[in-house]
């Protein structure tokens, strides 16, 4: 869901380097063209991706079915690339697409973390309370990370720094889901790390914006 826009533009989902973009373009562009031929709009795909994530979260993650949930989470995560590519091809990139993407991304991210926290909070696992507590902190700080950028940009300040933007946070959750389902339960470690790096990112952004706005 990476369409260009003004305040509150969504955070990058892929590494920001030319080689990564070219490699992904070879995979994503043909699919985007097929969807356009099928008269599917970028906005419709954005809504579909968010809705699919909500269903995956409630049906699989909230019940502890992390393996299938992770697989589907990864597949539907490609929508983040497809709708932006389609908008570029159609020439419809703009502030509305950025606003819709960013808003629905917050819903999707919250659904994933809340569902995992729900499962652990209602389980008999010894690390249940830790996962739930760390998850709440990670969720709040993740939302604050996005809010800090949106508010900064509304004040004409730059705010794209931080050790844990959305891409990094989602990768950490995805890896934790796979390891927990296939090897051993690492969710408590993953969520504690997620809470820490998300908090650090918010602090980094506050300090960075202050330097720009306080003369």
Return the sign of the alpha-carbon dihedral for residues 147, 153, 157, 160. Answer: positive
How many other C-beta atoms are found inside a 10 Å radius of the C-beta of residue 95?
14
Inter-residue contact 24 to 116 (CB < 8 Å): no
Return the structure tokens found at 162.
Answer: 């931080």
Return the structure tokens found at 112.
Answer: 């994933």
- Residue 202 dihedral angles phi and psi, to the nearest 5°: -60, -45
Inter-residue contact 81 to 13 (CB < 8 Å): yes
Q: Write out the catalytic residue numbers.
A: 105
Question: Which residue do the tokens 């049906």 mark?
Answer: 59
Return the sign of the alpha-carbon dihedral for residues 71, 74, 76, 78. Answer: negative
């Amino acid at each position: 869901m990476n369409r260009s826009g003004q305040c509150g533009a969504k955070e990058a989902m892929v590494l920001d380097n030319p080689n990564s973009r070219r490699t992904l373009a070879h995979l994503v562009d043909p699919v985007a063209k097929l969807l356009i031929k099928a008269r599917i709009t970028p906005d419709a795909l954005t809504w579909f991706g968010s809705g699919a994530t909500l269903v995956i979260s409630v049906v699989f993650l909230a019940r502890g079915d992390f393996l299938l949930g992770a697989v589907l989470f990864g597949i539907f995560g490609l929508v983040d690339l497809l709708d932006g590519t389609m908008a570029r091809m159609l020439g419809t990139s703009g502030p509305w697409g950025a606003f819709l993407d960013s808003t629905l991304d917050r819903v999707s991210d919250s659904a994933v973390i809340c569902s995992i926290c729900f499962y652990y909070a209602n389980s008999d696992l010894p690390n249940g309370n830790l996962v739930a507590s760390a998850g709440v902190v990670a969720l709040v700080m993740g939302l604050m990370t996005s809010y800090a950028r949106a508010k900064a940009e509304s004040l004409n300040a730059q705010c794209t720094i931080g050790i844990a933007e959305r891409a990094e946070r989602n990768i950490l959750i995805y890896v934790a889901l796979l390891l927990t389902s296939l090897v051993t339960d690492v969710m408590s470690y993953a969520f504690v790390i997620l809470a820490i790096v998300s908090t650090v990112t918010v602090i980094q952004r506050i300090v960075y914006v202050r330097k720009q706005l306080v003369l």
